[in-house]
């Protein structure tokens, strides 16, 4: 994907199988275990992994308003997940 001022590309090497990483991104029960930073709780409001499907998570810290993050799955196949993210 070419970079421009409205896109972000991140790469990271993680010592895990592609199948395990796929589960971490696509299973709500797994996503809530790692998505939130320390001191926050993650809530999965939507997680439709089909192309064009929407996802939305909320990060909540005690005593503050939740921060919602959402996007659209552009593709989700062969253990590769492509997300379109937006912040609300």
Q: What would the mean pLDDT of 20-29 be, rounded to a whole number?
A: 87
Instruction: Give the torsion sign (CA, 14, 18, 24, 25).
Output: positive
**Residue at 67 is within a domain:** yes
Task: Please give the residue range of the domain that contains residue 76.
Answer: 18-87
**Residue at 83 is within a domain:** yes
User: Do 59 and 70 meet the contact criterion of CB atoms below 8 Å apart?
Assistant: no
Please report the pLDDT score of residue 60 as a whole number.
Answer: 95
**Residue at 7 is within a domain:** no
Using pLDDT thresholds of 50, 70 and 90, give the confidence band for residue 56: very high
Q: What would the mean pLDDT of 9-21 be, rounded to a whole number?
A: 78
In this model, does residue 73 exceed pLDDT 90?
A: no
Q: Which residue has the tokens 């589960």?
A: 23
Q: What would the mean pLDDT of 7-32 be, rounded to a whole number?
A: 82
* Backbone phi and psi for residue 46, each to the nearest 5 degrees, phi listed first: -155, 145
**Residue at 10 is within a domain:** no
Using pLDDT thresholds of 50, 70 and 90, give the confidence band for residue 8: low
């Amino acid at each position: 994907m070419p970079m421009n001022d409205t896109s972000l590309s991140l790469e990271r090497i993680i010592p895990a199988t592609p199948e395990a990483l796929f589960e971490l991104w696509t299973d709500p029960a797994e996503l809530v275990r790692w998505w939130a930073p320390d001191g926050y709780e993650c809530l999965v409001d939507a997680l439709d992994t089909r192309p064009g499907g929407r996802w939305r998570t909320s990060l909540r810290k005690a005593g503050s308003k939740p921060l919602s993050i959402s996007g659209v799955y552009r593709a989700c196949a062969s253990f590769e997940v492509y997300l379109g993210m937006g912040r609300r």
